[in-house]
Amino acid sequence: MSETLGAYVSISELEHELVLSYWPERFALQWSQCGRIPDVVAVYLASIGDGAFTAAYLRATVGYLLNELVENSVKFHVAGAIRIRVGFHDEEVVLVVTNQVTKEQKPALAEQFAELLQGDPEELFLAKVEGDEDPAGQSARDDSRLGLLSMMVDYQARLGWNFAPVANDDDKLWMQTMVRVPHRADQGN
């Protein structure tokens, strides 16, 4: 049975959709080396555009957001392919990154995501940037939520997650992270 958190919605088809899959087991990619994939995707979206977004905005925004998502997927990935899906839907840029996590990881991840969704993003972001420790005693600088908070604060991104079973593997779940960025009038050229 799947579980959904936040602004995750099932979208069967995206306009100008691009889907990429890669297998970290076959290509030893460290999370700190993930910048090339978002660059390629951002250039693709900027080249085809949908008229609601400038090419410069797409390159900068998609490049940053997807880089954060890919880094997190590589950090928490346990097996199988990592799938990247991007495109446009209802005047939003939609990014979805899917990877496998263990069932043991899920409660902690879901708790972190719920804290992000229930708290004030700007207050949480400032606390992380200032280096405050969270209630569990984890240093903010060691926490992967800073990138997610930056998405919410700097890009007005809506975040959502979906956890679903992996067929024929009772110990793993598919985790889909969705980021939806609205058209902004101040996006620049």
What is the pTM for the complete model shown? 0.85
For residue 188, tell me if it sits in a domain: no
Domain range enclosing 85: 3-182
For residue 189, tell me if it sits in a domain: no
Band of residue 33 on the pLDDT scale cut at 50, 70, 90: low
Q: Summarize pLDDT for 171-185 with one digit per residue, the tens.
A: 999 999 999 998 664
Q: For the chain, how many structural domains are there in total?
A: 1
Q: Summarize pLDDT for 149-171 with one digit per residue, the tens.
A: 999 999 999 999 999 999 999 99
At 140 the pLDDT is 45
Assess whether pLDDT exceeds 50 at residue 141.
Answer: no
For residue 118, tell me if it sits in a domain: yes
For residue 85, tell me if it sits in a domain: yes
Q: Summarize pLDDT for 34-93 with one digit per residue, the tens.
A: 667 777 887 888 787 666 777 788 888 888 898 889 888 888 888 888 899 998 888 888
For residue 155, tell me if it sits in a domain: yes
For residue 38, tell me if it sits in a domain: yes
For residue 187, tell me if it sits in a domain: no
Tokens of 173: 């779940």
Q: What is the CATH number of the domain that holds 158?
A: 3.30.565.10
Provide mean pLDDT across the span 109-125: 91
In sequence order, the β-bridge partners of residue 84 are 20, 97
Band of residue 31 on the pLDDT scale cut at 50, 70, 90: low
